[in-house]
Amino acid sequence: MTKTLSVVLGIILMAGVFAPLASAATPESPKSDKQFQINGAGATFPYPLIDKWRVEYNKIHPNVNLNYQSIGSGGGVQAHTAKTVNFGASDAPLQPGERDLAPGTLHIPEAIGSVVLAYNLPEVKQSGLKLTGENVADIYLGKIKRWNDPKLQDNNPDVKLPDKPILVTRRSDGSGTTYVFTDYLSKVSAEWNQKVGKGKSVPWVTGLGAAGNEGVAWATRNTKYAIGYVELAYAKSNGMTVAYLQNGDKTAFVEPTFDHVFQAADSYPIANIPKPQDDWSQVSMVLAPGTNAYPIVSLTYLLLYEDLDQAVSDKDTAKTLVQMVSWMVTDGQKFSQPLGYVPLPKTIQELDKQGLARIKFYGEQILGTGDNSVMSESEKTQNKADTKSDTKKEIKVEKKSDVKKNTKVTEKKTVKKDNKTTKTITKN
């Protein structure tokens, strides 16, 4: 049987790791009297979560400010390659040619999210329109042009679809969301794979382009009879109606919910996850098996240089960045679920920490051996508790030993009394 993330993810859910983690301890930040600004840019897909992290981390460390520009994965990769930001962000892993332009890049998975098909049908005001992968591909190939097309109506016999043209919306910028969406379309449609393919930017056949998830969400929500693809968090925050997509097994239509996204991530084989320093270009979670597995799911990544002096000017700022990212991928995961993202399982958190431990600044390791900066807050709290417990045990042992040392046994022979010799034992 193929080993997957199921055991790890299942244990995490049962153990309540997706609930708020311990927060009594906070990650150390160098020189608390110094102000730090961390600059990042890239994917709009995880922007709601990154922005939440910005606010929450600043509450812990008021001297650390995150400036993240939500410009799309294409822009994030370009900024990372050009070294104009401290870190980039992308839903699309670097492709071989991009890795050549940015050698020494670490992929640090930050969250798991999903892409949904949102629609604006005045006659269908609720979510639940059922679409197969072929339906979606044909809509974006311009082959299905009207909402009451028989292929769509057959999947939705209980809904009277309007005889109106389908207004397709899509991304106009280089986009990781587009990469994930077109990866899905390339797997469900041979025609799409041959004519268009997958990528952050593709030669679209039809559609109105808009920048960012924000732009596509706005265009779809404000255009009657429109359909567009956005990350689930944007659909939720904008109150949009979304389609139920046919699963990878073609046995059911699946609603995009946290549980169904979780089940898709749950089935991904552990053996297929590379190390942070390796090639991630073949990683794909779309069309995961399982009746309730939502079909368009993806990791999203932070991109950092292993030699961080390429993108950061001084060691204190470099260490602050690494510590902030460490918090994001561990304790910061408690903010994922409310926004529609699946928190990283422990296996990927450990992988991230291994990657962060590799980072150097002019050859000097940022996090020294035994440095607890890559520990989550709950791990640090447990570590302190274990240390305190061990200390108590040592004190008890020492006290017991001291008592024994200070106890002297002496014997005194007294004179014979009544023909008996009496011994007196004295303990000091």
Task: Kindly state whether residue 25 falls inside one of the protein's structural domains.
Answer: no
pLDDT at 375: 53
Nearest to 203 by CA among 245, 149, 151, 142: 142
Q: In sequence order, what are the residues at sequence separation of 6 or more whose Cβ sits closer than 8 angstroms to the Cβ of residue 404?
A: none
73: domain CATH number? 3.40.190.10
Q: Please classify residue 420 by burial: count the beta carbons closer than 10 Å to its beta carbon, then call 0-12 exposed, 13-18 middle and 19+ buried.
A: exposed
Task: Kindly state whether residue 12 falls inside one of the protein's structural domains.
Answer: no
The answer to whether residues 212 and 344 belong to one domain is no
The answer to whether residues 48 and 151 belong to one domain is no
Tokens at residue 56, please? 């929450």
Task: Kindly state whether residue 292 falls inside one of the protein's structural domains.
Answer: no
Last residue of a domain, one of 255, 272, 289: 272
pLDDT at 14: 37
The answer to whether residues 135 and 89 belong to one domain is no
pLDDT at 33: 80
Q: How far is CA 297 from CA 16, 108, 265, 369, 404, in A?
A: 22, 17, 7, 36, 65
Task: Kindly state whether residue 96 falls inside one of the protein's structural domains.
Answer: yes
Contact 190, 170 (CB under 8 A): no
Query: With 80 as the cut, is the pLDDT of residue 133 above it?
Result: yes
Task: Kindly state whether residue 92 falls inside one of the protein's structural domains.
Answer: yes
Query: With 50 as the cut, is the pLDDT of residue 386 above it?
Result: no
What is the longest distance spanned by two Cα atoms in the chain?
125
pLDDT at 270: 82
Domain that holds residue 238: 114-272
The answer to whether residues 188 and 123 belong to one domain is yes
pLDDT at 378: 55
Q: Where does the pLDDT of residue 403 fall: very low under 50, low under 70, confident under 90, or very high at 90 and above? A: very low
The answer to whether residues 196 and 71 belong to one domain is no
Task: Kindly state whether residue 9 falls inside one of the protein's structural domains.
Answer: no
Task: Kindly state whether residue 186 falls inside one of the protein's structural domains.
Answer: yes
The pTM for the full model equals 0.82
Query: With 90 as the cut, is the pLDDT of residue 15 above it?
Result: no
189-209 residue pLDDT tens: 999 999 999 999 999 999 999
Number of folded domains that form the chain: 2
The answer to whether residues 142 and 231 belong to one domain is yes
The answer to whether residues 94 and 177 belong to one domain is no
pLDDT at 163: 98
Tokens at residue 261, please? 């996204």
Query: With 70 as the cut, is the pLDDT of residue 19 above it?
Result: no
Q: What is the mean pLDDT of the chain?
A: 86
The answer to whether residues 152 and 63 belong to one domain is no
The answer to whether residues 95 and 176 belong to one domain is no
The answer to whether residues 241 and 149 belong to one domain is yes
Q: Where does the pLDDT of residue 380 fall: very low under 50, low under 70, confident under 90, or very high at 90 and above? A: low
Task: Kindly state whether residue 413 falls inside one of the protein's structural domains.
Answer: no
Mutual orientation of helices 315-328 and 47-60 as an angle, nearest 10°?
120
Last residue of a domain, one of 365, 385, 417: 365
Rounded Cα distance between 408 and 397, Å, is 19
DSSP structure string for 14-41: HHTTTSPPP-SS----S-TTS-EEEEEE
At 56 the three-state DSSP class reads helix
Across the range 147-169, mean pLDDT stands at: 98
pLDDT at 275: 97
Phi, psi of 39 (to 5 degrees): -110, 125
Task: Name the residue with higher pLDDT: 386 or 221.
Answer: 221
> Which of 9-18, 102-111, 267-276, 313-322 is predicted with the least confidence, judged by mean pLDDT?
9-18
DSSP β-ladder status, 297-305 and 87-90: antiparallel
Last residue of a domain, one of 227, 255, 272: 272
The answer to whether residues 182 and 241 belong to one domain is yes
Rounded Cα distance between 80 and 114, Å, is 24
The answer to whether residues 206 and 133 belong to one domain is yes
